[in-house]
């Protein structure tokens, strides 16, 4: 283990755990999905409104650890108001960072860094905790499932497009 | 070479007839316990998941691989005879350890899970029919639930479940009421892996036998901590694993009453389990070989026997007494901490402490304790139905072994305080 895992539990993550933003359920959501990590029982429900190409509103709720809840909370802030394409870019950038495939701030296809990733880089230390990577990426998974109009997703699903063997991290 | 080469630790005291463990001497037998984790001394409190291996067992495995290894039950050459003798001696060690009548009642498996699956395939698929009922409890590990789900789905049988009270104790009145004329099998954990409850299995076996129903006991969490006597318990099957007993992974045991094992069908087909094979049909070897198809984990079985020798050298009574003292101290210490909820407070308990911290998810607890060098298990402990019954998604679990100390408990208390401070 290269980094101090304690460093992960810094103020911003603890703050989002205590006071999660966009917490709840959108009543007339155009898209929604349930995300489950059967290994630890984390459970996240994401609802969102896609108007045309724009992600107008998003909310989440669920039962999860601090890493998962803070990740979900910061995710909703990062993608709200973005286009579907921008949201999907962020999903990939976040997963790549959390699994250690890229350094913080980098983007897919080596494009210019996504500004929203700067704030999310507080999660970069998760790559050193292979057992916890899935806690951080579950909300992003679930967002992707909602955008794809899948009702549910699981970190252990065989056909999961974002399935990430833990050995990667 | 035997376990006693390097250990003499159980010494009777004047005031007490139960031998007392010299824990510092015991700890010196476990090289891994002197590890540093992130600069902190390892505090290993995940023994219910897997226990550590002492030097005499490591040396026994080394000696086997360097002096004795060949395939067993086959060739007539020197090494094959040496390995066969050591493997069969291991079977006798297990037989005496759990007080089975005969050595052929001891089947080596890959672990508790395979032992239970062996009973499901060998006994259940032969004797369970549509409409039959199997009794388990809500405390069970998934390994004593899922095989029965599979059997019920295949045969059209039904599972009946013994409930617990809020302390985590099985309810015997409800158990008695579950029996019907269709009850065919009772399968119960001896000690709960998630809560540590020691179930009144001797009484529960007697109640089942009064109805003519055989009983399988999952002893994975009992054998490392209690003196187990399968004849006294009068159970029909008893399953356990080597790696929770300071032995290697990949080895386990199924004890079965000889008469039951004989009427069962084989679970796996292959070499070493046959009497004769023609191209038309096979006839099977007598027990135990009927259930040990293929080359077994020879080294692991011999290592398990060395682990049993080691534990018996310390004395199971001394082990139980030391662990009970740890449990009492830990229960008092954690029980007095604000924000700590103990889950599972049965009167009869093994040294397992499941707990939750108010407002902090168990996974965060586990990660942060690890930064203090403390290893606990967090999650649902492969007992999701139990977690649902208790109304918690997960718990943190500290599980003690005889090599743990009161200082380890103090480290856990300090660790919990530091977790609470991070989340304050």
Give the lowest-confidence range in A128-137, B227-236, B343-352: A128-137
How does DSSP classify residue B34? G
Confidence of residue A169 (pLDDT cuts 50, 70, 90): very low
Q: Which of B312, B334, B350 is the last residue of a domain?
A: B312
Last-in-domain residue among B277, B312, B347: B312
Chain-chain contact of A64 with B361 (C-beta, under 8 angstroms): yes
In a domain, B43, yes or no: no
User: Three-class SS string for A76-108?
Assistant: HHHHCCCEHHHHHHHHHHHHHHHCCCCCCCCCH
Kind of pairing, strands B237-241 and B215-218? parallel
- In a domain, residue B292? The reply is yes
A6 vs B380: CB contact, 8 Å cut-off?
no
Task: Looking at the structure, tell me whether residues B227 and B342 fall in a common domain.
Answer: no
CATH number, position B67: 3.40.640.10
Do B136 and B312 touch, CB atoms closer than 8 A?
A: no
For residue A7, the distance in angstroms to the closest alpha carbon of chain B comes to 10
The structural domains of chain A, ordered by start, are: 5-168 (3.90.1010.10)
Q: Could you tell me the CA-to-CA distances from B216 to B97, B245, B380, B409 in Å, in that order? A: 18, 20, 23, 34
B46 in a structural domain:
no
Report the candidate in B30, B43, B48 with the shortest Cα–Cα distance to residue B344: B48
Both B275 and B399 in a single domain?
A: no
CA distance B36 to B52: 15
- Does B323 share its domain with B405? yes
Residue B421 above 50 pLDDT? Answer: yes
Residue B53 within any structural domain of the chain: no
Mean pLDDT of chain A: 84
Residue B341 maps to which CATH number? 3.90.1150.10
Residue B76 has pLDDT above 90, yes or no: no
Q: Which residues pair with B398 in a beta bridge?
A: B353
- Predicted pLDDT at A1: 41
Least confident of B1-10, B40-49, B285-294, B383-392: B1-10
**B371 vs A contacts (CB less than 8 Å):** 4-6
B123 and B172 share one domain: yes
Residues B298 and B164 in one domain: yes
Find the chain B residues whose C-beta atoms sit closer than 8 A to any C-beta of A: 38, 360-364, 367-368, 370-371, 378-380, 384, 387, 393-394, 422-423
Backbone angles phi, psi at B156, to 5 degrees: 75, 30
Closest among B363, B422, B372 to B397, alpha carbons compared: B363
Structure token digits, residue A96: 């790549």
* Residue B323 Cα distances to B50, B226, B377, angstroms: 16, 10, 18
Instruction: Report pLDDT digits (tens) over B272-325.
Output: 888 888 888 888 999 999 999 999 999 999 999 999 999 999 999 999 999 999
- In this complex, the residue of B38, B364, B371 whose CB is nearest that of residue A65 is B364
Chain B residues near residue A135 by CB distance under 8 angstroms: 363
Q: How many domains does chain B have?
A: 2
Same domain, B119 and B19: no
C-alpha angle B225-B398-A98 in degrees, rounded to nearest 5: 135
Residues B251 and B272 in one domain: yes
A71 touches chain B (CB under 8 A): no
> B390: closest CA among B422, B362, B351?
B362
In this structure, are B294 and B173 located in the same domain? yes
Say if B42 falls within a structural domain: no
Chain pair A-B, CB pairs under 8 angstroms: 46
Would you tell me the crossing angle of helices B316-335 and B298-314 to the nearest 10 degrees? 80
Kindly state whether residues B104 and B247 are assigned to the same domain: yes
**Nearest chain A residue (CA) to B359:** A18
Residue B315 tokens, joined = 């004395």
DSSP state of B366: H
Residue B49 lies in a domain: no
Phi, psi (5° rounding) for residue B360? -130, 125
Provide the chain A residues 87-146 that lie in CB contact (below 8 A) with chain B: 129, 132, 135
Tell me what the mean pLDDT of segment B171-189 comes to. 98
Contacts with A43 from chain B: Cβ below 8 Å = 393
Distance from CA of A33 to the nearest CA of B (A): 20
Contact A65 B38 (CB under 8 A): no
pLDDT digits (tens, 9 = 90+) for B116-154: 999 999 999 999 999 999 999 999 999 999 999 999 999
Tens digits of residue pLDDT in A30-81: 999 999 987 777 899 999 999 999 999 999 999 999 999 999 999 999 999 9
- What range does the domain containing B401 cover? 7-37+315-422
Task: Supply angle C-alpha B187, B188, B190, rounded to 5.
Answer: 145
A84 touches chain B (CB under 8 A): no
Does B112 share its domain with B216? Answer: yes
Tell me whether residue B2 is in a domain. no
Q: Are residues B288 and B384 in the same domain?
A: no
Do B323 and B298 lie in one domain? The reply is no
Tell me whether residue B270 is in a domain: yes
Are the beta carbons of B363 and A65 separated by less than 8 Å?
yes
Question: Could you say which of B295, B312, B329 is where a domain stops?
Answer: B312
Q: Tokens 């397992």, residue?
A: B352
Q: Which positions of B are catalytic?
A: 382
Query: Is this complex scored with an ipTM above 0.90?
Result: no
Q: Which residue reads 């026994």 in tokens? A: B60
Residues in chain A: 169
CA dist., res. A21 & res. A79, Å (int):
12
Structure tokens at B394: 């997960």
Residue B130 Cα to chain centre, angstroms: 31
């Amino acid at each position: 283990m290269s980094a101090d895992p304690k460093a992960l539990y810094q103020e911003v993550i603890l703050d989002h755990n205590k006071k999660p933003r966009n917490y709840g359920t959108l009543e007339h959501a155009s898209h929604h999905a349930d995300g489950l990590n059967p290994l630890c029982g984390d459970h996240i429900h994401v609802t969102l409104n896609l108007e045309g190409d724009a992600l107008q509103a998003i909310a989440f709720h669920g039962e999860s650890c601090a890493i998962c809840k803070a990740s979900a909370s910061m995710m909703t802030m990062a993608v709200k108001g973005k286009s579907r394409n921008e949201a999907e870019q962020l999903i990939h950038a976040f997963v790549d960072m959390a699994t250690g495939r890229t350094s913080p701030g980098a983007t897919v296809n080596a494009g210019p860094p996504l500004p929203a990733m700067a704030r999310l880089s507080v999660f970069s230390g998760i790559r050193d905790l292979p057992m916890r990577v899935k806690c951080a990426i579950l909300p992003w998974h679930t967002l992707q499932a909602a955008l794809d109009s899948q009702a549910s997703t699981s970190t252990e699903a065989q056909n999961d497009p974002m399935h990430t063997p833990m050995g990667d991290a | 070479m035997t376990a006693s080469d390097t250990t003499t630790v159980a010494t009777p005291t004047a005031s007490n007839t139960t031998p007392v463990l010299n824990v510092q001497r015991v700890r010196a037998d476990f090289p891994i316990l002197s590890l540093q984790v992130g600069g902190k001394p390892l505090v290993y409190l995940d023994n219910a998941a897997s226990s550590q291996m002492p030097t005499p067992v490591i040396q026994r495995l080394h000696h086997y691989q360097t002096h004795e290894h060949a395939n067993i039950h086959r060739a007539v050459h020197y090494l094959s005879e040496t390995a066969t003798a050591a493997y069969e001696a291991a079977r006798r060690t297990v037989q005496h350890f759990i007080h089975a009548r005969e050595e052929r009642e001891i089947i080596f498996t890959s672990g508790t899970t395979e032992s239970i699956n062996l009973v499901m395939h060998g006994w259940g698929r032969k004797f369970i029919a549509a409409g039959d009922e199997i009794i388990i409890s809500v405390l069970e590990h998934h390994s004593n639930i899922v095989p029965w789900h599979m059997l019920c789905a295949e045969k059209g049988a039904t599972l009946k479940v013994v409930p617990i009270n809020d302390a985590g104790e099985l309810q015997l009145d409800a158990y008695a009421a579950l029996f019907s004329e269709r009850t065919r099998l009772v399968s119960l954990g001896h000690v709960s892996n998630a809560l540590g409850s020691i179930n009144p299995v001797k009484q529960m076996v007697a109640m089942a036998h009064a109805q003519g129903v055989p009983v399988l006991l999952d002893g994975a969490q009992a054998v490392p901590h209690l003196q187990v006597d399968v004849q006294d318990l009068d159970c029909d099957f008893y399953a356990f694993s080597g790696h929770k007993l300071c032995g290697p992974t990949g080895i386990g045991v199924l004890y079965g009453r000889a008469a039951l094992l004989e009427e069962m069908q084989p679970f796996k087909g292959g070499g070493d389990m046959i009497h004769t094979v023609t191209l038309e049909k096979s006839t099977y070897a007598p027990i135990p070989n009927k259930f040990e198809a293929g080359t077994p984990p020879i080294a692991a079985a011999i290592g398990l026997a060395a682990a049993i020798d080691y534990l018996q050298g310390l004395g199971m009574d001394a082990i139980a007494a030391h662990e009970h003292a740890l449990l009492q101290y830990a229960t008092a210490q954690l029980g007095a901490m604000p924000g700590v909820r103990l889950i599972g407070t049965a009167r009869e308990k093994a040294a397992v402490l499941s707990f939750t911290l108010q407002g902090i998810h168990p996974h965060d607890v586990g990660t942060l304790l690890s930064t203090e060098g403390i290893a606990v298990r967090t999650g649902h402990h492969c007992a999701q139905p139990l977690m649902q019954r208790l109304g918690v998604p997960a718990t943190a679990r500290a599980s003690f072994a005889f090599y743990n100390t009161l200082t380890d408990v103090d480290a856990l208390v300090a660790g919990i305080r530091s977790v609470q401070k991070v989340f304050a």
